[in-house]
């Protein structure tokens, strides 16, 4: 693919991404109404599964092709970018501070911290075996079951929109699935075209691998968060990020290890995991302050992600280099 074709593909893909993300959010909102479920829970379970599809594809493919550091680095790096870029953008674009559901946050936060620490321990010896990947996948299934049980315990949501016209269930499904497919496909095109443009601009491989690819596979979360926030559905954006964080570790890293054991350099583990845990803990701590996500909290997360990127390039990036996707 030539440079100008890649630029054109990126331009078309960003337009498609914006429209499909809008459909995805609208469909998710309708699903929340039909199920009488909090938008944050829909974001965690349904939207989160969909928007992490690019990460799953990249990581599993990398594991099968013998690039375990790409597989694990993409999963961990996506958590960092989801929390340090996608969620802060939602806070910055929201018309008001995003309220946080205390019950859902309490359970999701505890589970997220536990699986992050478990995955870190599993990888600390330089290898994430198939059995360890299987444990992470089982934890993900357990969390799904728990989420549905938690949803049934929630009181019906009174949203004050009972009088508005609603689409049929089939219409809602078509809107959601169509938006989801469009988001995943357009994101894949962006990830495919970006390294070509980056190389033409003279960016080093380490930037393309660790920054462009990992951030590129987080584009669905970024788009969904911004659109949801602008529509006043901040809870959906928060749920999407919490769900994506859990999925990246349990489902994506776990499935990658099941496909092929992940043998990684200690430098990768000792650099990526501490930063991931630090950013996750900061995000969760900020959410607990007043149980809302305001603009200043978004700025704190962006600054922390910026510090991570600066530290990345100051800490022997050659040891952490991954090839372009």
- All structural domains of the chain, each given as residue ranges with its CATH number in brackets, are 3-153+168-320 (1.20.1420.30)
Sign of CA dihedral 117, 121, 123, 124: positive
- What is the spatial distance between Cα 81 and Cα 222, in angstroms, rounded to a whole number? 9
User: Mapping DSSP to helix (H, G, I), strand (E, B) and coil, where does residue 104 land?
Assistant: helix
Per-residue pLDDT tens over the stretch 26-61: 777 777 777 776 666 677 777 777 777 777 777 787
- Sign of the Cα pseudo-torsion (130, 266, 72, 7, in order): negative
pTM of the model: 0.77
Lowest mean pLDDT among 26-30, 43-47, 175-179, 226-230: 43-47
Q: What is the mean pLDDT of residues 305-324?
A: 67
Residue with tokens 């909102």: 29
Average pLDDT of every residue of the chain:
80
Query: What pLDDT shows up at residue 118?
Result: 96
Rounded average pLDDT over 210-238: 77
DSSP secondary-structure letter at 124? Answer: T
Q: Structure tokens of 242? A: 């919490």
Rounded to an integer, the average pLDDT of 146-173 is 64
**Residue 238: pLDDT above 90?**
no
pLDDT tens sequence across 257-276: 999 999 887 877 888 899 99
Instruction: Find out whether 210 and 10 touch, Cβ atoms under 8 Å.
Output: no
């Amino acid at each position: 693919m030539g440079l100008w074709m890649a630029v054109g593909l990126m331009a078309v893909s960003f337009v498609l991404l914006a429209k499909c993300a809008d459909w995805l959010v609208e469909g998710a909102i309708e699903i929340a109404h039909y199920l009488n479920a909090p938008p944050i829970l829909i974001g965690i379970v349904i939207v989160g599964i969909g928007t992490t599809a690019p990460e799953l594809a990249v990581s599993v493919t990398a594991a099968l092709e013998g690039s375990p550091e790409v597989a694990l680095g993409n999963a961990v790096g996506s958590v960092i970018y989801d929390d340090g870029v996608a969620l802060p953008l939602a806070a910055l674009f929201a018309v008001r501070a995003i309220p946080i559901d205390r019950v859902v946050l309490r359970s999701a936060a505890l589970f997220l911290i536990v699986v992050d620490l478990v995955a870190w321990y599993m990888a600390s010896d330089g290898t994430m075996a198939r059995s360890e990947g299987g444990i992470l996948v089982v934890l993900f299934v357990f969390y799904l079951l728990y989420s549905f049980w938690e949803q049934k315990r929630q009181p019906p949501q009174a949203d004050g929109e009972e009088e508005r016209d609603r689409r049929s269930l089939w219409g809602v499904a078509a809107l959601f699935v169509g938006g989801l497919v469009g988001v995943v496909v357009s994101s894949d095109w962006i990830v495919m075209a970006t390294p070509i443009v980056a190389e033409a601009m003279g960016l080093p491989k380490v930037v393309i691998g660790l920054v462009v690819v990992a951030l590129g596979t987080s584009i669905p979360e970024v788009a969904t968060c911004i659109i949801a926030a602008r529509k006043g559905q901040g809870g959906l954006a928060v749920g999407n990020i919490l769900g994506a964080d859990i999925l990246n570790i349990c489902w994506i890293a776990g499935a990658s290890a099941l496909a092929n054991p992940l043998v990684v350099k200690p430098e990768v583990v000792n650099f990526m995991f501490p930063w991931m845990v630090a950013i996750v803990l900061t995000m969760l701590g900020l959410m607990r302050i007043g149980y809302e996500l305001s603009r200043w909290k978004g700025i704190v997360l962006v600054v922390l992600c910026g510090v991570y990127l600066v530290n990345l390039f100051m800490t022997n990036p050659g040891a952490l280099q991954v090839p372009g996707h």
